[in-house]
Copies of this chain bind each other. A is one copy, B any other.
Amino acid sequence: MSIHTPARPALDVDVVNGVAHKVRDLALAEAGRHQIRLAEHEMPGLMALREEFGPHQPLAGQRIAGSLHMTVQTAVLIETLRALGADVRWASCNIFSTQDEAAAAVVVGTTGTVERPEGTPVFAWKGETLEEYWWATQQIFDFGVDAAGEPVGPTMILDDGGDATLLVHKGVEFEAAGSVPADAEGDSAEWRVVLEVLRNSLASDPQRWTRMARSIQGVTEETTTGVHRLYELHRDGKLLFPAINVNDSVTKSKFDNKYGIRHSLPDGLNRATDVLMGGKTVFVCGYGDVGKGSADALRGQGARVIVSEIDPINALQAAMDGYQVARLEDVIGDIDILVTATGNENVVTLDHLLALKHLAIVANVGHFDNEIDMAGLEALPGAERIEIKPQVHEWRLPNGRSILVLSEGRLMNLGNATGHPSFVMSASFTNQVLAQLELATKRAEYPIGVYVLPKLLDEKVARLHLDALGVKLTELSPRQAQYIGVDPAGPYKVEHYRY
């Protein structure tokens, strides 16, 4: 087995045992175990699936390669997949987002020890290098060898952001071409790492990804970005296996994106800066679901919120919700806290950063770190970066002012806080598990393409979370159901209903 992490040679030992390095600390695993237990209480959807499907083992025989922030909540997801019969390997989808105690607990398992872990292989730790990150992503595809000694890959991908899916698709593409392109000028540092990974792979096993792709029955993906990539792949005829777009389940996009951010944006601001939001002028770029949750949270803390939008419909929504809607450059000098929530690039330019007030806070909850022009800031002559604490940096600008940049422009709700809370993730992950079940058990109904979950399953996800909140659902009488032309058990709405 070849492992490509020159910067982390000591890793080899643990990998031989099929587990990640952090497991060495049993106390860490025990702390994680406590947190997982509390999280289970907040993840009623996943626990209900364990109860409903556990006895039937519908995922038996499935090998799931998971690439998703390795948090306490993900631990509950992983253990749910296991409870339904799957074999699972896991990496994080972000270099900063792993909670080491969660990773440790998953690896050790409930009754394991550091020496004899009994859990699930996890390749993730907080603060990976890019090289480590992509090394870890490769590990989730390696399910050992079969009786004949042939390498065994996953039957399923569970993805967040699409990195695992990307690796397979690019691997297949380069294997078909017989070579991996050379680094080109303008390639990002990360892309260069990916190319290097695939170059090494091609050198050591020229059919690795092609062989792997054949065994993969499908992927379930939960981010806007990852889903966007999937639709593009499908549009271009390059999608290799069916995909379920979990992101656009109502119980994902209107919950995780909105209510999750409502929770985790102020949490991240607090942990990073302890700054009072009340009375401050906060600018939120974008009024999609993430922007809506952001604005709501900040208003709830007494901030004056100004919003920008490029879509006139969303802009009108923001106005109707009582927010000033302005262009960033028009009010830049008034802003105390600047939040990006767009999913686009270069939304906050270097010019914007230079026009901010002294010690204005800059935070991204939208997308990649290119939402803010971090590259421009890093290249700015005379700019100085001072670490106040991890993931909080003061940038002293040549104009004599400073700004505070959170999580180096990456998702601050993950970098400065603990991401979305368990309850929200329960909704998202219940969608993930239901999507895995669809692909695993109804393979014939899903030819290659990108699908959203049937509305009835979306409603089921919601339904599984009501009891925990004390919500009592009203039931349609048969006559009422007939009156509005639906089944009393649902689905209740036309497909295009917007919630």
Which residues on A are within 8 Å of B, measured CB to CB?
Answer: 31, 34-35, 38, 41-42, 72, 228, 231-232, 248, 250-251, 253-255, 259, 262-263, 266-267, 270-271, 273-281, 285, 289, 296-297, 299-305, 308-328, 330, 334, 343-347, 358-359, 386, 388-389, 394, 404, 417-418, 421-424, 427, 452, 458-460, 462-463, 465-466, 469-477, 479-480, 483-485, 490, 492-496, 498-499
Contact = CB atoms under 8 A, between A and B. Distances in A.
Given A484-B228, A484-B343, A263 B276 contact: yes
B279 A310 contact: no
Nearest to A282: B322
A413 B10 CA distance: 42
22 contacts: A38-B359, A38-B388, A38-B394, A250-B313, A251-B316, A254-B498, A255-B320, A263-B301, A275-B423, A278-B319, A279-B322, A299-B322, A302-B320, A304-B323, A304-B324, A305-B322, A316-B466, A325-B466, A327-B472, A345-B483, A452-B496, A498-B498
Most B Cβ at <10 Å: residue of A31, A34, A259, A490: A259
Nearest to A286: B474
A21 to B, nearest CB: 23
A418 B316 contact: no
Given A322-B304, A475-B310, A422 B38 contact: no
Nearest to A498: B498
A34 B276 contact: no
Nearest to A387: B34
A52 to B, nearest CB: 16
Given A299-B300, A322-B304, A316 B232 contact: no
A316 B275 contact: no
Most B Cβ at <10 Å: residue of A271, A469, A485: A469
Given A42-B276, A232-B485, A250-B498, 4 more contacts: A231-B494, A276-B422, A300-B300, A316-B466
